[in-house]
Structure 1
């Protein structure tokens, strides 16, 4: 399972990196995206199910990344995680049954949207009604005529977990990893950032491990002094003597990004309904409570 989990996380990190480098001024939304740069390679066709059909059928299918703790994974036959609980909340408020669909991460987020939102995989594929955990960026979203991003439900933040004994006076910042050993997930955003921070000068101090769990175990064992990773994946693995903070990440375009829900543009009424549900669930505390139950810090998104 851990090998599959690493692959999903690695590919998702690459997808996030691809999305985040496209950031631009909000006021220029879509103005600089000519039609030939938009990524749809298929003509619009009737696809998916409308809000009315979902209610008539009594169920909604939601695509979620597999082996992606604490967001979505299967254990002992039970599909669980933060994204699963939020998907169930949406289904409950719509008055329908949730049918979760665990999916593999593709090589890019572009491919995930094509496979699960607006066309379906070429061989045996189909689109789901909703797709969770889509990193949202205005300029990136402008490239998709057939995808709507809605229901922004949280922010993901990069963070550093560290040994309180190793840093008794103040928490470490990325610059200290020129000298101090730090663990990262191999081929992750953290790996790319620290490798490029000093043009490779930190390479001998970077311990590249298969996944964040292994990185946190190395930290607990004293093999490294810190771990850089998304905060949501650090929080559930904190142990005694390990602290976490979110320092400035100098030179990184974005160290935090909103998480949204993607769906076919043909079903905007469903998107409006989902957005209202998410808005209400943040305001009344249901979504923050889901994060608390999974021992993950909730970062409210800008909506």
Structure 2
């Protein structure tokens, strides 16, 4: 009994001492493999279908690995409570359940100066050990509606009279519950995910859904129902309505960031990234950082 207890304590102690190692660029090249972290079960960005990895981020990860002459190894990760938790767990320190596993690069990270330089209550930089770079997608909020019950959405004020589905504890949830003095809160229905809200719209439980544009485009594409449409309207009093999504590496691995950004610029300029998005029914909008380069390539400069 005592021997088994000793072995258990020894194993637990070992869990605490395992240390994730950030791979230098030369070591990554020598290994022949690029390790890329993507979120699990997050269509249309990264998910599995019939046992195969699919999604915009999965295909982008493969193209980035190809640009460096490397094989791709996907690290499927679950989101934490906050993005800085994910960066700590999968980019610079390691998760306590997977302490020896780190990605070389993580996708779907906001490219945002304010977030990059965020400080904690002690005034310390929260993301000091992370470099965020390479914005590859511009994201927005989007409403989809069933034209059989809601012909158009000239303003979000229509949801004072029509029920709308949103993801629980999301920006659309907070927005629809509070904007215009909360007049739309009684018609705001909450669901565990955008796909469940969308399914509820198809079943007639709600007349519209609000989520990220990429998710809405994908759900409309998969539904293939011409009566379901994306609305074209703004969101008064919301604040930021669009943002760029990029990548993150450990701050010691800027050489990898430069190399991957070179591959990304080529994908954007050639139109290949837009084709990847189109395969999933998504509209592609070039992030502001690369608009000038794309225009130059279009002119043949």
TM range (shorter): 0.7 to 0.9
1:272 aligns with 258
Alignment of 1:131-210 (within 5 A): 131-143=106-118, 144-168=127-151, 170-210=152-192
Alignment of 1:227-266 (within 5 A): 227-238=209-220, 239-266=225-252
CA contact 1:162–1:172 (8 Å) conserved in 2:
no
Matching residue within 252, 273, 281 for 1:287: 273
Matching residue within 205, 221, 225 for 2:203: 221
2:64 aligns with 90
2:83 aligns with 109
Deviations 1:187-244 (A, max 9, x none): 2211111111134332220111222122222222332221111111111222220110
Change (3 A) 1:229 1:172: farther
Q: 1:46: how far off? A: 9.3
1:76 aligns with 50
Task: Work out the CA distance in 2 between the residues paired with 1:298 and 1:192.
Answer: 27
TM-score normalised by length of structure 2: 0.81
Deviations 1:95-133 (A, max 9, x none): 000000100100100100110111112343232100010
For the pair shown, the structure with the greater C-alpha radius of gyration is 2
1:128 aligns with 103
Task: Work out the CA distance in 1 between the residues paired with 2:43 and 2:248.
Answer: 20
Q: 1:250: how far off? A: 1.2
Task: Work out the CA distance in 1 between the residues paired with 2:181 and 2:102.
Answer: 42
Which is further off, 285-294 or 175-184?
Answer: 175-184
- Structure 2 residue runs of 5 or longer lacking an equivalent are 1-18, 119-126, 290-301
Task: Work out the CA distance in 2 between the residues paired with 1:222 and 1:124.
Answer: 43
Deviations 1:56-83 (A, max 9, x none): 1100100000110110112332221110
TM-score normalised by length of structure 1: 0.81
Q: Look up the SS of the partner of 1:258 in the other structure.
A: strand
Change (3 A) 1:148 1:221: same
Q: 1:246: how far off? A: 4.0
**Runs of 4+ with deviation above 3 angstroms:** 165-168
Task: Work out the CA distance in 2 between the residues paired with 1:141 and 1:246.
Answer: 31
Task: Work out the CA distance in 1 between the residues paired with 2:20 and 2:148.
Answer: 59
Which is further off, 202-211 or 105-114?
Answer: 202-211
Deviations 1:146-169 (A, max 9, x none): 11111110111101101223343x
Which is further off, 155-164 or 263-272?
Answer: 155-164
Alignment of 1:27-38 (within 5 A): none
CA contact 2:20–2:94 (8 Å) conserved in 1:
no
Task: Work out the CA distance in 2 between the residues paired with 1:203 and 1:129.
Answer: 43
